[in-house]
Structure 1
């Protein structure tokens, strides 16, 4: 679903060149959940933003569903981004809009439907994350976990094929983390959305991801399937990979957990 080919991203920091992503290649399977971990400054969030070109790489190609985003015109790129949802660390909800209005706004920017259709789609998206009763509530009255669930609903409303998650649980408490991850696992299982999760929290990767890429100094230095951790004698090659022996967050079976649907 996602193919990153020899991507490098360079920033100018006061006359000095900082290579945040250094010649990275990565393949992410359709319908999978890909984890990207690394310590602060490893380049993982920049790589995530390369996937939807919020950060444009200095070189390389980024193919999503077979289309190289780097070669698109601004108008073509804007249309392609409608199929790539994004969840941010700090929710990025507009405080003067209700939960439903925040979701509707993404549909309006995407040019989807009229006002009534956008309202219907927003309520359906909120139902998926069990927040339909909070449709008229403003962000200030929502908990951290509820805000992140509104953000998930907003990302799902445009029916994306890809969902990019930048540290989606770092702004919520440990108890809420499992709930947020459960919703992400559910939408992956029910809708087949390809999910990429960037985090420094090892237990998050173990709970939700199928494959993990380890980043250091802008490079992918190790990649393996999480099922390998159960194989006798297997040990990750990098120190950060070995942190994956930390405590697990246990999720329920996604197909047995959630209700709600998005209708055309």
Structure 2
């Protein structure tokens, strides 16, 4: 479904070059949930934006459902992007528009008529159980509800692919579970190929079929989530082993003994 072939993305600032994505190749099957994990600066968000060419790769190709996006002109690329929904880390909702109007925006940009826009936006809100919040403005919604509006907006264009950039980092742990449940249900019921970028392994463990581990712009390891329950399995790389650990381990240092203050 998604074929990322030897993709590199290089940025140049003030005469200095920086390789954000370094010769990454990744095959994502139709209908699957692909996790991409790594620390901040690993290049995972840039790679995600390479998929819909919000960030055009410096080299390599991205093929989605048989179409090489990197070979398209601007007009054809805009048309293909309507088949790729995206959920952002910080919701990206317009505060002066209602939930319904925010969802309708993606359809307006896709050239859908007003009557169909309203119908499809309402259907998308219904999928995420927010039909009763259609007339509410973002300022009246919780963080979880805002993210669900963002999911509805991404679904309204009936995409083949759903890209999620840190979809739970701006919400609390209880809301995280709710958002992930919606993403999992949408994948199961609609068959939308989903890619989730995160630095949280518990998010990947909850929903993904496969995990790709990135470090310093490179794809350093990839394995199926089912492997984690296989006796004796351990990621091959140090960063892979670190990321799958649920524990926070600190080096215990002896405390400095404070001298009692002497009154003069």
How far residue 245 of structure 1 moved from its aligned partner, in angstroms, is: 3.6
1:53-68 equivalences in 2 (<5 Å): 53-68=53-68
In 2, Cα distance between equivalents of 1:155 and 1:103: 8
> What is the SS of the residue equivalent to 2:40?
coil
How far residue 240 of structure 1 moved from its aligned partner, in angstroms, is: 3.1
Please tell me whether Structure 1 or Structure 2 has the larger radius of gyration of its CA atoms.
2
Deviation >3 Å, runs of 4+: none
Corresponding residue number in structure 2 for 1:69 = 69
> What is the SS of the residue equivalent to 2:89?
coil
How far residue 239 of structure 1 moved from its aligned partner, in angstroms, is: 2.9
> What is the SS of the residue equivalent to 2:100?
helix
Contiguous gaps of at least 5 residues in structure 2: 248-264
Corresponding residue number in structure 2 for 1:129 = 128
How big is each residue's C-alpha offset from its partner over 1:171-218, in whole Å with a ceiling of 9 and x where there is no partner? 000110000000000000000000000000010000010000000000
Corresponding residue number in structure 2 for 1:119 = 118
Q: Check if 1:45 corresponds to 2:22.
A: no
In 1, Cα distance between equivalents of 2:177 and 2:239: 22
> What is the SS of the residue equivalent to 2:57?
coil
Contiguous gaps of at least 5 residues in structure 1: 248-264
Corresponding residue number in structure 1 for 2:209 = 210
Corresponding residue number in structure 2 for 1:261 = none
Corresponding residue number in structure 2 for 1:257 = none
> TM-score of the superposition, structure 1-length normalised?
0.92
Q: Tell me the C-alpha RMSD between the 2 structures.
A: 0.8
Corresponding residue number in structure 1 for 2:180 = 181
How far residue 116 of structure 1 moved from its aligned partner, in angstroms, is: 1.7
How far residue 244 of structure 1 moved from its aligned partner, in angstroms, is: 1.6
In 2, Cα distance between equivalents of 1:156 and 1:105: 12
How far residue 6 of structure 1 moved from its aligned partner, in angstroms, is: 0.5
Question: Aligned residue pairs: how many?
Answer: 246
1:123-202 equivalences in 2 (<5 Å): 123-202=122-201
Corresponding residue number in structure 1 for 2:219 = 220
How far residue 238 of structure 1 moved from its aligned partner, in angstroms, is: 2.2
Corresponding residue number in structure 2 for 1:2 = 2
